[in-house]
Structure formats: structure tokens, C-alpha cells
Amino acid sequence: MILPRFYPIFDSADWIARALPLGVKLVQLRVKDRDPADDIRRARDLCRDAGAILVVNDHWRLALDLGCDWVHLGQEDLDVADLDAIRAGGLRLGLSTHDEAELERALACRPDYIALGPVWPTILKKMKWERQGTEKLTAWKVRIGDIPLIAIGGLTPDRAREAFAAGADVASAVTDITLNPDPEARMREWLAV
């Protein structure tokens, strides 16, 4: 499977509405601080209209109920997710990884992509993992073969080039866009990479 190379992550459908007209074709909705149902519905419709892929973070039951196509789960989410229901419902699955044990667990789940992070230090959230580095991207890509590899954590357009050179198939960004004084211009930079 070939995914678009730029993968922004946003906490609202409003951000997605800003990104899609610029040509973003792969986006994640990561709602943590409120009921996500309305945002998921709106983001689903916006992405379908734009021919873009929406990945719903964590909320796999809602993703199934609302007819979404993709879900992303962290390792903690795997403890409570019903992978059989996710697969039976036709959802494609992306998984986060940070270390060897998590990679083994992810591979056992037969995911549609694997994310590795943080490749560089990140300010998005407090993490127990240190910088993974591009060397780990190279090692992960050798291990996972044809499964798309997502680089996340501290990425910028320049760092995305390094991540691609190291073996990542896709580069993901959050705060590099959302904290930028001109998010649309920054997304255009990303799309150019």
C-alpha cells in the first residue's frame, strides 16, 4: 500500500477543513479533551469530499459506528481494543511503536502501517521515550518490509527529508503546523517536501 507522504495530525475537524484545500490527502483526527463524535462525522465528510484519507485516533468504536475507514491505536489502546471487530468492520489499522517489544506486538496485529516516534524530541506530550533517531527508522524499515513506516515526533520539513532518506515512507507533524504563525504556509512547505 502506498500512502501519501505527508500526515498531519489535528485535534479538530476545523484544522482538517483548513488542510484539505491545500492538497493534504492523509490526516489524523486526535480528539482527547471532549466528545469526538461531531468532529469525527465532520472530518469523515470533509475527507470523503476531498478524496483524502481520515485516520481516527483511539476511538475505534466510533470509527466503526460512523463508517470511517482507518483507525490509529497506541500501545495502551491495544489493551482494550477489539481487533477482531476492527478487522470485521473493515477498518484499516495504524499502530504506534517506540521499542522492540512494541514493534513485535504491532507486527502480530498485522497493521496497515506502523508509526515510530519520537524520532526527534517533541513538545506535543510528555513521553517516557527518548529521541529514537533516524537510525531506528532504518532498522524498523528493514524489519517491517512493505508495511508503510510513519516517522513522528519533532519533525519539520527539513527533518522529513532526513526521515525519508532513512527509510520512512510517511512523515507526520503536529505542533510544527499548529504552533506555526502561518499554518497554511507551513503545510504548503510540507507538501512541497
pLDDT score recorded for residue 94: 98
Place of cell 496485529: 109
Residue 96 is a catalytic residue: yes
Q: If DSSP codes are grouped into helix, strand and coil, which group holds residue 85?
A: helix
pLDDT score recorded for residue 132: 86
* Pure H helices in 60-156: 60-65, 75-78, 83-88, 100-108, 134-144
pLDDT score recorded for residue 127: 55
Residue type, 17: A
- Reply yes or no: is the peptide bond before residue 118 cis, omega within 30 of 0: yes
Candidates 30, 136, 141, 186; catalytic one: 30
Element containing residue 111 per DSSP (H, E): none
Cell of 65: 459506528
- Go through the chain and tell me how many residues it has: 193
Candidates 12, 96, 141, 172; catalytic one: 96
Q: What are phi and psi of 100, to 5 degrees?
A: -60, -45
Residue 125 is a catalytic residue: yes
Candidates 34, 87, 110, 125; catalytic one: 125
- Reply yes or no: is the peptide bond before residue 21 cis, omega within 30 of 0: no
Residue 61 is a catalytic residue: no
pLDDT score recorded for residue 131: 82
Ramachandran area for residue 23 (φ above 0: left; ψ -120 to 50: alpha; else beta): left
**Model pTM?**
0.95
Closest CA to 19 of 192, 181, 161, 178: 178
Distances (CA, A) of 100 to 52, 104, 116, 158, 176: 32, 6, 11, 27, 27
Closest CA to 72 of 23, 18, 109: 109
Q: Please give the chain's pLDDT, 193 residues, in tens.
A: 799 999 999 999 999 999 999 999 999 999 998 999 999 999 999 999 999 999 999 999 999 999 999 999 999 999 999 999 999 999 999 999 999 999 999 999 999 999 999 999 876 655 566 788 999 999 999 999 999 999 999 999 999 999 999 999 999 999 999 999 999 999 999 999 9
Q: What are phi and psi of 77, to 5 degrees?
A: -65, -30
